[in-house]
Amino acid sequence: MAKFDKIQVMAKIGAAPMVPVFYHKDLEVCKNVVKACYEGGVRAFEFTNRGDFAHEVFGPLVKWAAVECPELAIGVGSVVDAPTAALYIQLGACFVVGPLFNPDIAPVCNRRLIPYCPGCGSVSEIGKAQELGCDLTKLFPGDVYGPNMVKGLKAPMPWSKIMVTGGVSPDAENLKKWFDAGVYCVGMGSKLFPSDKVKAGDWAYVTAKCKECFDIIAELKK
């Protein structure tokens, strides 16, 4: 069962609007990354379903985080079908994210009051996702659509809460473009976790980058 429900997860993301996106086959690496992010102020973390037996890493990670990072909502990303969503929900996922919009996933998540954030590429897709209860929708890939897409769709649909993933980096110039356009939050992957830093176990770098991102976002929201 999810530790936090939809309302709680949305509040966490709203308060700390940068969601790290990460996968590694080694559970200990994942623990170190999650802890580093948590210490940097992260309160929602997306573990991507990208490797063989990824769910076998996710389950123990959620149990560990419940003790070591008590205020962290851990969700699952890269989910493209309802059975996969159900599997991760059973393992404690607090939210479900996908690279695409699959209407079959929405009722599975809604039944358990878990946010489903589908990847959308058009105003019509975002509108349909909202009709099915998706309070937060993902513009993906962000670097293809760009900030003007967010700004344009929010003009006639100002209630829309958009997360953008892909093309987001931990620097002021990049973050300013997205938040000025009106995103609710950003998802950040490889640019937050450079492979050389992960390989070296430089977790202090990850913590510092997370703090830096939140400082920048706080300034942008003033």
Q: What is the mean pLDDT of residues 20-41?
A: 98
What band does 78 get if pLDDT is binned at 50, 70 and 90? Answer: very high
The mean pLDDT of the chain is: 97
Q: What is the mean pLDDT of residues 136-156?
A: 96
What band does 166 get if pLDDT is binned at 50, 70 and 90? Answer: very high
Query: Would you state the pLDDT for residue 1?
Result: 87
Query: Would you state the pLDDT for residue 21?
Result: 98
**Residue 120 is inside which H or E element, if any?**
strand 119-120
pTM of the predicted protein model = 0.97
Q: Which domains does the chain have, with CATH numbers?
A: 6-220 (3.20.20.70)
Q: In sequence order, what are the residues at sequence separation of 6 or more whose Cβ sits closer than 8 angstroms to the Cβ of residue 2?
A: 89, 92, 93, 94, 95, 112, 113, 114
